[in-house]
Structure 1
Amino acid sequence: MHTYQLNYPIESQVVETQGIVLVLGFFDGVHLGHRQLLETGKKVATEKGLKLAVMTMNAHPSQIYGPTDVSVPLLTTTAEKTELMAQLGVDILYIGNFNGPLAKVQPQDFVDEVLSQLNVKAVVAGFDYTFGKKEVANMSLLKQLAKDKFEVYEVPSYNQDGQKVSSTRIRHLIEQGDVDQANTLLNSIYQTSGKVIHGFKRGRQLGFPTANIDSNAKKVGLASGAYTVKLKVHGQWYQGMASVGYNITFDDVKDLSVEVNIFDFDEDIYDEMVEVKWYHYLRPEEKYSSIEALIDQLNQDEIDSRAYFKALEK
């Protein structure tokens, strides 16, 4: 897959001379709804004998076109999104640089000086896609402005359990701790990353040493509680369990912490960058009456987590 940063005006080196089928969207999470768009794009591209391209943005649309500059937590970083697009068979990925002039392009110019300049033969987008202020620059306007320049394919809502599958819905699920359902809608495992930092080293004293992770603040934060996870360090994935919360049994932690107990692992990984996949929500954070009660629960969490992974292997 070729990946290009897209600036305005369009630079000749990013243009596919044979033409492309372009799928439009922000694609946060690259979830089941997004995959329906990509499948439609792939079908059209195959029929036309063209390459499949995707255009996304380097900032959330609400930051570009919204009334405020409030940051929306992300399901996927640009790097994660890029990896998923490559796995799904996209030929060209355009990452729009919306920190520059591209963000101010008017709807007609977007069609004439961006899409047409990219040699687009067909555009695929969701029914609710917007390319500017949503009150104006919606799919109806895109079809009008495209005229005879290129075809426009509008993909309807993708629903599951009677609800639209959307990035907003998945964010809410993760924030509530329901990573199991979120992962179903993502069709992948929610992932975070961060540097291993020094903590209280209390886990080691309890017999469950943990990697304390300073996670990416731009990603969607998880609800407090215990989770079944995998952690990647030095290029290898390890099974484990994680605690998200304030260690309320001890009453001395003021900031939210993310700690992972890595199974069958005993290495010093301070200051290492790691990745965490969040597979399963075990239980909410609890305050225990004694250290012994906490240790008993941690033992049960490990039993449950190992059993979860064993069941996945069947």
Structure 2
Amino acid sequence: MQVRTSLPIEREPCVLALGNFDGVHLGHRRLLEHGLEQAERLGVGLDVLVFEPHPLKVLFPERGIKLLSTTQERLHYMEEIGVRTVYHLPFNMEMANTSPEQFVEKILIPLGVIHVVVGFNYSFGAQGKGNPELIQALGQKHGFGVSVLQAQTMGGRVISSSSIRKALLQGDIQSASSLLGRLPCLRGIVVHGEERGRQLGYPTANILTSEDYLIPKRGVYAVWSLIDGTRVLGMMNIGMKPTFHEMYDTVVEVHFIDFDGDLYGREITVMIVERLRDERKFNGVNELLAQLEKDCSNAKGVLELCNFTKL
């Protein structure tokens, strides 16, 4: 799969999927799969156009939107599905002020689109004035087809990035997993922390994630990761260490069970299986150690029953 940050010099006929695809959840996957079907029918490749940064970060920075996936993760999932080329174009105020007609004429047409695939709530152009009906009309004008996919649902619930964010912020890993079609994950670099866990006999990998990444609700979770090709089970704490600090930044730290190795400076991906309990303040180290032993046992029990999926 190719990744490009500018428009091609020559038009390359394609079916083009439009959207943000944050998380590449089951709804996104259905849209991309439909795009593949159209591409095979027309004898061309499936391309995807996404903007970086996320348009909401430029248009509404005060909202502080957090994302479900990194660019690297999105590309990985799209390549798995069969996307030929991903165009990562910069989103700025100039792009935000582009009219829907200019968007089609200056971006879609140069990409060589012969068919476009969008979701039912897709918007484009200045002030979001462009909608699926308008892109269908512009498609008729410029000679390309348009597919508009309706909302994908599960159990009567619309599959959307916002609903997955809500589930994760509530600590509802089961709902988030169902809507994603896989286990939610956290990816980051292992950095040095206070090393208090090591002193207590529960060494942890402190994970520094991107500031744009959504961090689930504070608490303790059963997790697993692939480290040097080996599946390693663990328990993760997301919290502010209230037993030792009155005020502390939220940190993500993972104790890998039956693992001994140096992870500092490495990027790891942690797959979140289940939330075990809330974060709470303990009355001293001994009470904390007793709870950590219970957490470790509970995490093992959950993970032994887990139907592990690939990263």
SS across alignment from 2:111? coil
User: Residues 97 and 151 of structure 1: is their aligned pair in 2 closer, same or farther, counting only changes over 3 Å?
Assistant: same
Partner of 1:12: 9
Q: Which moved more, 1:70-79 or 1:29-38?
A: 70-79
Work out whether residues 223 and 303 of structure 2, in 8 Å CA contact, stay in contact via their aligned partners in 1.
no
2:262 corresponds, among 258, 261, 268, to 268
User: What amino acid sits opposite 1:106 in the alignment?
Assistant: S
1:44-63 equivalent positions in 2, closer than 5 A: 44-63=38-57
Q: How far apart in 1 are the matches of 2:245 and 2:128? A: 49
Work out whether residues 2 and 91 of structure 1, in 8 Å CA contact, stay in contact via their aligned partners in 2.
yes
Identity among equivalent positions (%) equals 35
Q: How far apart in 1 are the matches of 2:2 and 2:237? A: 38
Partner of 2:282: 288
Deviation of 1:235 after TM superposition, in Å, equals 6.0
Deviations 1:62-109 (Å, cap 9, x if unpaired)?
234x35564311111111100110011111211122248544432112
Work out whether residues 233 and 275 of structure 1, in 8 Å CA contact, stay in contact via their aligned partners in 2.
no
SS across alignment from 2:75? helix
User: What amino acid sits opposite 1:12 in the alignment?
Assistant: I
TM-score normalised by structure 1 residue count: 0.90
Deviation of 1:58 after TM superposition, in Å, equals 1.1
Deviations 1:177-223 (Å, cap 9, x if unpaired)?
12222122111222222232332222123221111222221100221
Deviations 1:159-191 (Å, cap 9, x if unpaired)?
122221111111111112122221221112222
Deviation of 1:294 after TM superposition, in Å, equals 2.1
Partner of 2:91: 98
2:174 corresponds, among 167, 170, 180, to 180
1:304 corresponds, among 294, 298, 303, to 298
Partner of 1:3: 3
Work out whether residues 62 and 69 of structure 1, in 8 Å CA contact, stay in contact via their aligned partners in 2.
no
User: Residues 152 and 134 of structure 1: is their aligned pair in 2 closer, same or farther, counting only changes over 3 Å?
Assistant: farther
TM-score normalised by structure 2 residue count: 0.90
Partner of 1:110: 103
Partner of 1:84: 77
Work out whether residues 233 and 273 of structure 1, in 8 Å CA contact, stay in contact via their aligned partners in 2.
no
Unaligned runs of 5+ in 1: none
Work out whether residues 230 and 240 of structure 1, in 8 Å CA contact, stay in contact via their aligned partners in 2.
yes
1:1-314 equivalent positions in 2, closer than 5 A: 1-6=1-6, 10-12=7-9, 15-16=11-12, 19-64=13-58, 66-68=59-61, 70-99=63-92, 101-133=94-126, 135-148=128-141, 149-233=143-227, 237-252=231-246, 254-313=248-307
Q: Which moved more, 1:124-133 or 1:270-279?
A: 270-279
RMSD between aligned alpha carbons?
2.2
Deviation of 1:121 after TM superposition, in Å, equals 0.8
Q: How far apart in 2 are the matches of 1:203 and 1:253? A: 18
Deviations 1:281-313 (Å, cap 9, x if unpaired)?
111112223433322221222222222222125
Deviations 1:15-39 (Å, cap 9, x if unpaired)?
42xx111111100000011111112
Q: How far apart in 1 are the matches of 2:4 and 2:177? A: 29
Work out whether residues 195 and 215 of structure 1, in 8 Å CA contact, stay in contact via their aligned partners in 2.
yes
Aligned length: 307
User: What amino acid sits opposite 1:11 in the alignment?
Assistant: P
SS across alignment from 1:81? helix
Deviation of 1:232 after TM superposition, in Å, equals 4.6
Q: How far apart in 1 are the matches of 2:101 and 2:271? A: 42
Q: How far apart in 1 are the matches of 2:128 and 2:103? A: 16
User: Residues 97 and 67 of structure 1: is their aligned pair in 2 closer, same or farther, counting only changes over 3 Å?
Assistant: closer
Unaligned runs of 5+ in 2: none
